Chains A and B, each alone.
Chain A
Amino acid sequence: MVGTDTTTAVIWKEELMIEIHVNGEPMNLAPDTSLTDLLAKMELSGRRVAIERNLEIVPRSQHGTTRLEHGDQIEVVQAIGGG
């Protein structure tokens, strides 16, 4: 990368971002983002939620060590009123 070339710098930065889908919506994140980081970004830290990643449940105990990857499909759910 050439430090003074801003176009290249932007491309370089975008290449570093990963795109995932959270509850059906696209979201761009820095690489190495964990599920714990994602919950913090969604302002859901400490709340009772469950996460599914690419159709597999990720236990709460693994949120900190699970790193998101480009193309991940994430579902974050909670309990709401229902009959």
Chain B
Amino acid sequence: MTAQTAIYSDPLFIDGKAYHSRLLVGTGKYRDLDETRRAIEASGAEIVTVAVRRTNIGQHPDEPNLLDAVPPEKYTILPNTAGCYTAADAVRTCKLARELLDGHDLVKLEVLGDQKTLYPNIVETLKACEQLVRDNFKVMVYTNDDPIVAKQLEEMGCVAVMPLGSLIGSGLGILNPHNIRIIMEEANVPVLVDAGVGTASDAAVAMEMGCEAVLMNTAIAAAKNPILMASAMKKAIEAGREAYLAGRMPRKKYASASSPLDGTIG
């Protein structure tokens, strides 16, 4: 595989559909919809997450709509259940999202435990997952880094398992590489790192480990220049993937000269 062909001949498969980009991005926390649009374009992402919220009563009719900036004809829209703390609310949100997106059934399930950590509530996540799979949703699930839970979610029928690298919006990077490695070793569905990436090297680390893709929002949106960071993330994801496919050299304790030792002067 050459570098030029790697991105085209090595697609990411989610629920049988091929994607060329292994970077999934959120649409939250941008200054305005124009910045959202430009950042997502620069990221090269094909799968874009959105939240589902109540309309404001008395909303201005000319107010721009997120789905005008991120049209479903161009992107795979991945509605999330962010802000849900119970399985029941998450399932309701997914049903509303499916109606909103004309029957589109790919969803990002996240059921949160508390507002301070936004750590997933696994008991509620499992409950919601069971109901959603039964209702024919294609579930990409945000979870913790517990390999047993990740396996259970896969066995329940999730199309992707997405353990956190660190807390949502923390930018602390991949704090749990060993657990994520175990999750990947056991998985038969794509494993994505979702949450925790702070800068480009974090994304590259996740990809070099062999993650299928990375989902991020704050790392781009909260950068001083989100458009430039989106471009950096695109490159980091591609670099990390190519490094993973290329296979890194083994780590050694002592030096190994790069230049021939013979024929030196003196």
> Once the chains bind, are A83 and B55 in contact (CB under 8 Å)?
no
Q: Which stretch, A3-11, A12-20, A29-37, A41-49, touches the partner chain B?
A: A41-49
- Selected from B53, B59, B80, B216, the residue in CB contact (under 8 A) with A77 is B53
Contact A78 B65 (CB under 8 A): yes
Question: Range of interface residues on chain A?
Answer: 20 to 34
Shortest CB–CB separation between residue B64 and chain A, in angstroms? 11
B51 contacts the other chain (Cβ, under 8 Å)? yes
Beta-carbon contact of B95 and A81 below 8 Å: no
Of chain A, the residue at the smallest CB distance from B32 is: A81
Which of A24, A27, A47 is within 8 Å of B65, CB to CB? A47
Which secondary structure characterizes the binding site on chain B?
mixed
A79 contacts B51, CB within 8 Å? yes
The reply on A80 being an interface residue by CB < 8 A is yes
For chain B, the count of residues having a C-beta within 8 Å of the partner chain is: 39
Q: How far is the CA of A52 from the CA of B93 in the complex (A)?
A: 10
Residues of B within 8 Å of A50, CB to CB, are: 52, 96-97, 99-100
- A83→B53 contact, CB < 8 A: no
Contact of B27 among A22, A76, A77, A82 (CB under 8 A): A82
Contact A60 B53 (CB under 8 A): no
Which residues of chain A have a CB within 8 Å of any CB of chain B?
A: 22-25, 27, 42-45, 47-52, 55, 57, 59-60, 75-83
